[in-house]
Amino acid sequence: MSRPADHALRRPLSDLMHERTIPIFTAPVVLRSWVYLVPDTDRAAESQWIASLAQDDDFDRGRHAEITGTGGSIWERHGEFSTYLAFSTSGKTQVLLRNNFGFCSLRTEDFHWLHGAPGSVFRSVEIVVLPHAPKPQALQAHIDLTTAVCCDVFDGHARIWSDFRMHEGGAGRIYVQDKGLRNDELSRLLQSLIEIGHYRKLALLGFPVARDLMGWLKDAETRLNAITSDMAGQAASQQQILDRLMALSAEVEHRVTSVRYRQGATEAYAQLVHDRLAGLREARVEGFSTMQTFIERRLQPAMRTCEAASKRLDDLSQRLGRVSDLLRARISISLEMQNQELLKSMDLRSKLQMKLSHLVEGLSVFAVSYYVFNLVKYVVDPWFAGHEDLAHKLYAVIIVAILGLAWLFITHRKRSITGEAGA
C-alpha cells in the first residue's frame, strides 16, 4: 500500500514551532539583541543584505541563523521590524565577573551583521546569565539598584535584575542568576525577557500618535458642536452646514485610516507583553519591584491614553453619523414641503388652464360659426337676390343651426381626445 503524500505545509508548519527558539541551554552566556524598525521601502534592500550574509535560503522564511559551539547570530523578520541577536557561551564565569559581568563585551561596532543593515535602531538590550549571585556593590556599578527591578522567576529557578535604562554602548542591561534552570528553561527565559522589552517599547509607539490625536479631537469636537448648534438654531443655511459637515467627516475618515494600524499594533504589542509577563511566574524580592509591577505602572497609563483616544475617535465618528442623519432628515422634509408647494402651484395652474380652455372653447364656437356662416352666405346670396327680407330670416335660422352644430362638433372632438388620453 502506497504512503499518502504529505501536505506541502506539513513540515514548514511543524518546524515553525521550534525555529523561533534561542539555542542557549546552560550558563554562563552573554547575549545582546537589537530591534531595527524597517519601513516597507527598505524590505527589498534588507533581503539583499541578509542574502549576502547567508549561505542558504533560510532568510526567505524570515529567519537566518549562524550557530557555532561557542555562540551564534540570529536575524528574524517581523511585521514592521527586524531583530538581530548575538550571543557568546565561551566566557568563563570568573573572567566575566572580573570583566564587568560581561556587559559591553558584545558591541554594535563589532557585530558585522549590522554594518550596512537597512532600517534604524529602535532598541538594544544586553543580558548576562551567570550561576552566581552578584555582590550588590559590584552590580551597582552596572545597574542602578535604587530604581531596579529584582524578582525570582520560573518558580524561583532564576533571579533577574534590571533598571530599564540605556547604558554605555546604547543598550539596556539585564543580569540573570541561574539558580537551577533545567532543560530549555534558560532559552525560554531569555526569549521572554527579550520579547517583553521589545514589545513594551513597540507598544509605546502608539502613545505619541494618541497624544497628537487627542489634540486634534478636541478641535474636531468643538467644530462638531458648532455645526450641531447652527443646525438646531438655523443660524446657517443647509448648504453651509452640509459643506462643513462633509469637510469634518473627510478629516475624521482620514484620521481613522492613518491611526487604525498603529492603534491595532499597540493593542497587540501590549497584550503580548502581558502574556510574556504572566509566563515568567514572578515572585517578589523584598525591597524591589517585580518586572510586571514596574512595567504596568509605566505602560498602563500610556495604553489607557491610546484606548481613550481610540474611543473618542470612534465616538466622534458615530456622532458625525447621527448629525448627518439628522441633516439628511431635515433636507428630506424640506424637499417634501417644497414638493407639496410645487404640487399646489401646479394644481392652481391646472385649474386656471381648464378655465382658459373652457373660455377658448366658447370663443372657438363663435369663431367657427362666423367663418362657416360667411361661406354659407356666399352660396345663399345669389339665390335670394331682391329678396333680402326672406334671406335675413333664413340667415337667422342658419346662424342658430351653425352655432349648434359647431358646439356639438367641438364637444364631440374634446370628448374623443379626452377618451384617447384616458385610454
Task: Scan for cell 521589545, then name that residue.
Answer: 198
The amino acid sitting at 360 is V
**Where does residue 420 rank: exposed (0-12), middle (13-18), buried (19+ CB within 10 A)?**
exposed
Beta-bridge partner residues of 128:
30, 175
Judged by DSSP in three states, 1 sits in: coil
* pTM: predicted TM-score of the whole model, two decimal places: 0.75
Q: How far apart are CA 81 and CA 183, in angstroms?
A: 30
Taking CA atoms, 173 is separated from 143, 145, 272, 290, in Å, by 7, 12, 21, 16
| Residue pointed to by grid coordinates 527586524 | 82
CA distances from 34 to 76, 101, 153, 161, 363 (A): 11, 20, 24, 19, 103
Closest CA to 127 of 99, 149, 102, 154: 102
Q: Which three cell numbers stand for residue 346?
A: 401646479
Convert the pLDDT of each residue in 312-369 to its tens digit: 999 999 998 888 888 887 777 777 888 888 888 888 887 787 777 766 766 676 777 7
Through-space distance between the first and last CA atoms of the chain, rounded to whole angstroms: 82
Q: What is the pLDDT of residue 62?
A: 83
Note the pLDDT of residue 69. 83
Q: Is 301 exposed, middle or buried (0-12, 13-18, 19+ CB in 10 A)?
A: exposed
Q: Find the helix or strand (DSSP H, E) in which 421 lies.
A: helix 388-422
- Report residue 136 as a C-alpha cell: 550588590
d(CA 237, CA 228): 12
| H or E element, residue 64 | strand 63-68
Task: Give the model's confidence band at 421: pLDDT under 50 very low, under 70 low, under 90 confident, else very high.
Answer: very low
Mean per-residue pLDDT of the chain? 85
The widest CA-to-CA distance across the chain, in whole angstroms, is: 161
Q: Is the pLDDT of residue 287 over 60?
A: yes
Domains annotated for the chain, with CATH where assigned, are 22-203 (no CATH), 206-340 (1.20.58), 353-415 (no CATH)
Residue 423: the pLDDT is 41
Q: How confident is the model at residue 10 (pLDDT cuts 50, 70, 90)?
A: confident
H helices of 78-205, in order, are 93-98, 136-140, 185-203
61, 66, 357, 390 from 56: Cα distances, Å: 11, 10, 97, 132
Q: Is 128 left (phi over 0), alpha (psi -120 to 50) or beta?
A: beta
Report which of 97, 105, 22, 20 is spatially closest to residue 63, judged by C-alpha positions.
20
Q: What local confidence, expressed as pLDDT, does residue 19 receive?
A: 62
Give the H/E segment covering residue 275. helix 238-280
- Amino acid identity for residue 321 in this structure: G
CB 273 within 8 A of CB 295: yes
Judge whether 280 and 192 are in contact, CB under 8 Å. Answer: yes
**3-state DSSP call for residue 36?**
strand
Q: Is the pLDDT of residue 213 over 90?
A: yes
Q: What is the DSSP annotation of 127-141?
A: EEEESSPPPHHHHHT
pLDDT digits (tens, 9 = 90+) for 31-59: 999 999 999 999 999 988 988 887 665 56
| Residue bearing the bigger pLDDT, 420 or 178 | 178
Contact 273, 196 (CB under 8 A): yes
CA distances from 184 to 25, 180, 187, 221, 370 (A): 6, 12, 5, 54, 122
Single-letter residue type at 319: R
In angstroms, rounded to a whole number, what is the distance separating the alpha carbons of residues 335 and 343?
12
